Amino acid sequence: MPGLSISGIFKSRSLKSHALFYYFMARIKIDIPGSFSFRTTIPIRITDINYGGHVGNDTILSLLHEGRVQFLNHFGYQELNIDGMGLIMSDVAIDFKKEAFYGDHLNIFISAGEFTKVTFELYYKLETEVGEKTVVIAVAKTSMVCYDYSNKKITSLPHGIKEKLSA
C-alpha cells in the first residue's frame, strides 16, 4: 500500500484506520499437521456461553485442557503420571476462526509432535458441523514440558513416549 505509514494510521481515529491497523498487526501462525492421531467430541454447555452469546475464548482454552486429558488417557497416561513423570503446559497459542454456540458438538482433534529431550508440542483442531458443512472453530498448539513434581525440576521425557504419542 504505497504512501501508507504506521504513524499516519495511529494519528487517525477513523474506522478505516482501525481496519488498516488490524492489517498490519502480527498474527500468530499455527502450522497444524495434516492428520491427527486422536479425536473426541465435547458438547457445548450453556455455562460455556459468554455475554456475546457464543463460546468464550476462556472456554476454548478449557476445552483444549479437557481434550488433552482425554488424549493422554487414551494412551494410558495422566498429566501427573507419564511413566512416573508429570507434565506442565509451558505455553499455548490459539487462533480463533469462528464462533461456536450452545448445542454445538465440538470435535477436537489432537496430535503430538516436535519432541525434544524434555518437551513436545500438542496440536489441536476444533470443528463443528453447521448444516452439511464442517466449520473450523479454532486451531491451537500447546508446549508440554516433562516435570518431576517430587523434585520440582524439569526432567527428560520417559523412554518410548514419542513413539506412543505420535502413533
DSSP string, the chain: -TT--HHHHHH--SHHHHHHHHHHS--------SS-SEEEEEEPPGGGB-TTSSB-HHHHHHHHHHHHHHHHHHTT-BTTBBTTBEEEEEEEEEEE-S---TT-EEEEEEEEE---SSEEEEEEEEEEEETTEEEEEEEEEEEEEEEETTTTEE-PPPTTHHHHHT-
Q: What is the mean pLDDT of the chain?
A: 88
Confidence of residue 24 (pLDDT cuts 50, 70, 90): low
pLDDT of residue 167: 75
Q: Provide the CA 148 distance to its chain's centre, in angstroms.
A: 24
Are 82 and 136 in contact, with CB atoms under 8 Å apart? no
Tell me the chain's radius of gyration from C-alpha atoms.
Answer: 19
In this structure, the dihedral spanned by the alpha carbons of residues 75, 76, 81 and 82, taken in order and rounded to 10 degrees, is -40
What is the pTM assigned to this prediction? Answer: 0.83
Confidence of residue 23 (pLDDT cuts 50, 70, 90): low
Quick: pLDDT tens for 43-71.
999 999 999 999 999 999 999 999 999 99
For residue 121, is pLDDT > 70? Answer: yes
How many whole angstroms separate alpha carbon 71 and alpha carbon 79? 10
The three cell numbers of residue 22 are: 488490524
> Any bridge partners for residue 96, and if so which?
138
The stretch 117-135 carries a mean pLDDT of 96
pLDDT of residue 2: 52
Which has more pLDDT, 18 or 77?
77
Name the least confident of 22-31, 54-63, 85-94, 155-164. 22-31
